[in-house]
Amino acid sequence: MSIDFNEWNKGIMAEFRANAGKVGGQFEGAPMVIIHTTGAKTGAKRENPLMYLEDGGDVVIFASKAGAPDNPDWYHNLVKNPAIDVELGTETYPAEAVVVDRAERDRLYAEMASRYGNFAEYEQATDRVIPVVRLKRR
């Protein structure tokens, strides 16, 4: 049985919006955000629910794709079009997506992995360096 990730994400986003940014199930108690990106190839508007880490007042997201060998599509979208919108709780605001340098990436990823063990597993499951992106409020 394969999972339709688009439908799965739609369900998570509906729950997020119905509960002021809170999601249950496997994400119970986890900090969640929805990013609004523009497709790198299509220019289409996209939305993705993600776990995040708060750092210095910024939202920080991780392109883990559960340890897959390639980066998630949303990562390619925000690299090409870094002006995005962020849904956090009941607020939506404009942000600039900035891929952090290696030292900052290592610090932030280690913090996320210490809080949420799945992120340590994702890093062990792939040969790529999982990118970390800071969302700076505009």
CA distance 93 to 58: 12
What is the pTM for the complete model shown?
0.95
Given a contact cutoff of 8 angstroms between Cβ atoms, the answer to whether 34 and 20 are in contact is no
Phi/psi-derived region of residue 20, left when phi > 0, alpha when psi is between -120 and 50, beta in every other case: left
CA distance 4 to 53: 26
The domains of the chain, with CATH numbers, are 5-137 (2.30.110.10)
Token pair recorded at residue 87: 């849904």
Per-residue pLDDT of the chain (138 residues; tens, 9 = 90+): 566 778 989 999 999 999 999 999 989 999 999 999 999 999 999 999 999 999 999 999 999 999 999 999 999 999 999 999 999 999 999 999 999 999 999 999 999 999 999 999 999 999 999 999 999 999
CA distance 18 to 9: 14
Residue 136: phi, psi to the nearest 5? -90, 120
Environment class of residue 40 by beta-carbon count within 10 Å: exposed (0-12), middle (13-18) or buried (19+)? middle
